[in-house]
Chain A
Amino acid sequence: SQELEQSPQSLIVQEGKNLTINCTSSKTLYGLYWYKQKYGEGLIFLMMLQKGGEEKSHEKITAKLDEKKQQSSLHITASQPSHAGIYLCGAARATGNQFYFGTGTSLTVIP
């Protein structure tokens, strides 16, 4: 099983709709990163959450961290075609240099 599971695996929404992507960890989360990847390209850093209950926003994207549930959610309000891509969550372990990425969520926004 993966350390970080994302759901859904893929999402197709109409432009203007809201959507939520979840990232669940099998281990205790001490912090979580969200990245966006255009198909076949590098990752773009979106935001990082460190504390339980923390919520951050960047333009129309909001992310929350629930440490008790070992889960983070990414919410996009009024989606646009520019939001299309693969969203990846990532987290580091408390010790060592291991960094894990989630399985990814592919988002398609239909104009």
Chain B
Amino acid sequence: ETGVTQTPRHLVMGMTNKKSLKCEQHLGHNAMYWYKQSAKKPLELMFVYNFKEQTENNSVPSRFSPECPNSSHLFLHLHTLQPEDSALYLCASSQNSGGLRDTQYFGPGTRLTVL
């Protein structure tokens, strides 16, 4: 596989469920990102990881818990979500985090619906 992959592509969960989103990049990048895209709102940066270390947490509620075991994999663990958390969750990677010259490459996203 090439580029950035995300699984699952679609997820429906109840508010009491625990689930995880997975992202894998095959680009040899060192930085990975989670974004949230809600209807009629700009993409919101959630977390940034650089060389497996979290470098940014954009005031994300604790019901979202990221994990980056290595530079190629990024997880987003979900628990006790709310219906307003329903959105498209996008993962991205770049050579390094931050900076203006690092193009981010995105995965296809996971469409999450919280019932």
Which A residues have a C-beta under 8 Å from some C-beta of B? 2, 4, 30-31, 33, 35, 40-45, 48, 50, 88, 90-92, 94, 96-104
Which B residues have a C-beta under 8 Å from some C-beta of A? 4, 6, 33, 42-43, 45, 48, 50, 55-56, 58, 88, 90, 92, 97-101, 103-109, 111
Distance between B23 CB and nearest chain A CB, rounded to angstroms: 11
- CB-defined contacts of A31 to chain B, threshold 8 Å: 100-101
Is B106 in contact with A92, judged by CB distance below 8 angstroms? Answer: no
* A4 CA to B100 CA, complexed, in Å: 16
- CB-defined contacts of B42 to chain A, threshold 8 Å: 2, 4, 100-104
Distance between A64 CB and nearest chain B CB, rounded to angstroms: 17
Given A98-B56, A99-B45, residue A41 in contact with residue B98 (CB < 8 A): no
Instruction: Kindly list the 6 A-B residue pairs having the minimum CB-CB distance in the complex, ordered from nearest.
Output: A31-B100, A101-B43, A42-B106, A43-B106, A97-B56, A42-B108
- B107 and chain A: residue at smallest CB distance: A42
Distance between B66 CB and nearest chain A CB, rounded to angstroms: 14
Is A98 in contact with B90, judged by CB distance below 8 angstroms? Answer: no
* A4 CA to B41 CA, complexed, in Å: 12
* A100 CA to B42 CA, complexed, in Å: 8
Is B45 in contact with A42, judged by CB distance below 8 angstroms? Answer: no
Distance between B104 CB and nearest chain A CB, rounded to angstroms: 7
Is A99 in contact with B104, judged by CB distance below 8 angstroms? Answer: yes
Distance between B92 CB and nearest chain A CB, rounded to angstroms: 8
Q: Which of B45, B104, B107 contacts A98 (CB 8 A)?
A: B45
